[in-house]
Homo-oligomer: A and B are copies of this chain.
Amino acid sequence: MRTFSSLLLAVVLATLPPAHALWPQPRNLRTGSDKLKLSDDFKIHLEAHVPQDMLDAISRTEDFLKKDHLQRLIVGRGSSDTNALTNAKSLSELDLYLESGADANSITTEAQKPIESRDEAYTLNVPNDGSPANITASSTLGLLRGLTTFTQLWYEVDGTIYAADVPIYTHDSPAYPYRGFMLDTARNFFPVSDIKRTLDAMSLVKMNQFHWHVVDSQSFPLQIPEFMDLSIKGAYSSSSVYTPDDVKDIVAYAGARGIDVLVEIDTPGHTSVISKAYPGHIACPEATPWDIFANEPPAGQLRLASNETTNFAANLLAAVARMFPSTIFSTGGDELNANCYDQDPDTQKSLNETGRTLEQALDVFIKTTHKAIEDLGKTPVVWEEMVLKHNVTLNPNTTVLVWEKSENAKTVAQKGYKLIHAASDFFYLDCGAGSWLGASPDSPNWCDPFKTWQHSYTFNPTANLTDDEAKLVLGGQHLLWTEQSGPSNLDSIVWPRAASSAELFWSGPGGNVSHALERLHDLSFRLQQRGVKSIPLQPLWCALRPGVCDAVPHTS
């Protein structure tokens, strides 16, 4: 029988403080165990010609260092560091270097490059002797990533700001070029301030893609100058809209934080709300019983067999694409419902007149709408059905969002498409709260249970893929569909859970959840200090004692 005393050593070992609490974990990292104070006159220097958003990032970084006020997550909250701090050196300077020959583009310009040409690598070196720290990169985007890592080094005790584990050296770069978060602003509306706060949080974990599912069947909050009636008649209210200025603001805010904005206008399904402004373009608008005509209420789909509707859709997509500088644009393509078209006399007439099947008409629709995007120099992104359920002609560069189940990645890759992991069984943040449909006393939601951070974190992005197929994986993202979410629970349902995919796709798979937990606690508290309502993963008692609240393995 085990007794208390024989277990003391194990407890002591388990409660040693973590060496560092960076998130995502850098891919190469050497840390020491010295303390280093941040000097009151600490400054960040960058000699090169400096774009404005880089200057802003520097000033933001200096601000975070002063205002994070984060205490270490160890018993005593850092009071045990005070002795070591009396003799610790002070850091007065961080120097940023853009490698010779590198373009001094803005962070925004670098962040908005095609997915696979973004250069996010950086080298960070923090000596323990008080001599200047430095970050070197071959792009301003890389410098930003280095600054982000740098801000995660610092804690505060009794008014002293200090790093706990210098010297630090890392040469770091992401395992996957696409690390995203999707927000649905159509089921329920989110003010611009919520989106900006989300972008702040994304940037802290080095996510680089905000996938904005901006409109859907329920509401059309996006103001498009050429199509004003869509939002006038389709937004939840005249104030629940994103104006073109809001879009510019969000895109600029994201860009300055190293994040590109992938906007989605989901077509031809998920378009019921367009019927408010353009009834002629929508089949089965709000038809009942809704479940015959759509996966969720209200039903309504673009009349894809109609030339007029196809041209309308192409013009609409192009108008929206022109509002966003990204090189990618999502045309959606999920959950197309055939019954809706079967029972739509207008669609049947179009099909009869052209002699096309519905699938042939869909092919024309996709070719036309995608050409409108491609003519603007953009690559289409689609949900998986476009390659798994339909036989449409797609540009081979088209990028596919795998969503229904993660194992579908295999088939998408076999067909040769680049893919983004966005599967409901790993990355859907809305699952686990039961059905949101009315008149349904006690039924689960289709994607229950809740996807824990541990579950997402242990996802294998290349499971069952050959080496060649694995090269098609661009990365992945967490997603928030907002049937049961709004501004009230945006932060709490997303953070820190979504950080698990941010690390998975930056640091690469295979991370250990026990080690990750310590750092994820730290991240969650740092997010809170920055105004993001990230939630606790454990009692604070456990957060202060790494490993002590682990589940105990027992052999039977």
Binding site for B on A (CB under 8 A): 1-4, 7, 10-11, 77, 186-189, 217-219, 236-237, 284, 286-292, 296-298, 343, 432-444, 448-450, 452, 454-455, 457-458, 482-489, 491-493, 513-514, 517, 528, 533-542, 546-554
Is B455 within 8 A of A432, CB to CB? no
User: By the criterion CB–CB under 8 Å, are B539 and A483 in contact?
Assistant: yes
Closest residue of chain B to A219 (Cβ to Cβ) is: B541
Q: Which of A440, A485, A528, A547 has the most CB of B within 10 A?
A: A440
- Please give the distance in Å from A324's CB to the nearest CB on chain B: 24
Which residues does chain B contribute within 8 Å of A443, judged by CB atoms?
Answer: 551
A-B contact pairs, 10 of them (CB 8 A): A11-B288, A186-B539, A218-B540, A236-B541, A434-B454, A436-B537, A437-B551, A438-B551, A440-B513, A450-B450
Closest to A273 in B: B541
Assembly CA distance A436 to B267 (angstroms):
40
A540 near B188 with CB under 8 A, answer yes
**Given A343-B4, A432-B433, A452-B433, A488–B533 Cβ distance below 8 Å?**
yes
CB-nearest residue of chain B relative to A237? B77
Nearest CB of B to A516, in Å: 10
Select from chain B the residue with minimum beta-carbon distance to A292: B2
CB neighbours of A290 from chain B (8 A)? 548-549, 552
In the assembled complex, how far is the CB of residue A71 from the closest CB belonging to chain B, in whole angstroms?
Answer: 9
**Do residues B549 and A438 form an inter-chain contact, with CB atoms below 8 A?**
yes
- A291 and B552 contact, Cβ closer than 8 Å, known pairs A485-B535, A541-B218: yes
Please tell me which one of the listed residues B296, B441, B533 contacts residue A489 in the complex, with CB atoms under 8 A apart.
B533
In the docked arrangement, what's the CA distance between A450 and B186, Å?
A: 25
Closest-CB distance, A359 to chain B (whole angstroms):
22
**Residues in chain B near residue A534, CB distance under 8 A:** 488
The smallest beta-carbon distance between A84 and chain B, in angstroms, is 21
- Residues in B with CB closer than 8 Å to A237 are 77
Contact A452 B442 (CB under 8 A): yes
A549-B454 in contact given A535-B486, A538-B483 (Cβ < 8 Å): no
Bound complex: CA of A237 vs CA of B432, how far in Å?
34
Q: Is the CB of B437 within 8 A of A484?
A: no
Contact A482 to B440, CB < 8 A, known contacts A77-B237, A292-B2: no
Q: Do residues B3 and A551 form an inter-chain contact, with CB atoms below 8 A? A: no
Given the contacts A297-B548, A540-B219, A514 and B287 also touching, CB distance less than 8 Å: no
- Nearest CB of B to A67, in Å: 18
Contacts A441-B458, A513-B441, A541-B218 hold; do A287 and B4 have CB atoms under 8 A apart?
yes
- Given A219-B541, A549-B437, A7 contacting B289 (CB threshold 8 A): yes
Q: Within the assembled complex, what's the spacing in Å between the Cα atoms of A438 and B538? A: 9
Chain B nearest Cβ from A256, distance in angstroms? 26
Known: A290-B552, A437-B549. A492 touches B488 (CB 8 A): yes
- Contact residues in B for A286 (Cβ distance below 8 Å): 11, 548
A498: shortest Cβ distance to chain B, in Å? 14
A343 to B457, CA, bound (A): 39
Name the B residues within 8 Å of A448 (CB-CB): 449-450
CA distance A290 to B542 in the complex (A): 12
Please, which residues of chain B bring their CB within 8 A of the CB of A513? Answer: 438-441
Q: Are A514 and B188 in contact (CB under 8 A)?
A: no
Contact B187 A539 (CB under 8 A): yes
> What 5 A-B pairs are tightest by C-beta distance, nearest first?
A434-B452, A439-B550, A218-B541, A489-B492, A488-B533
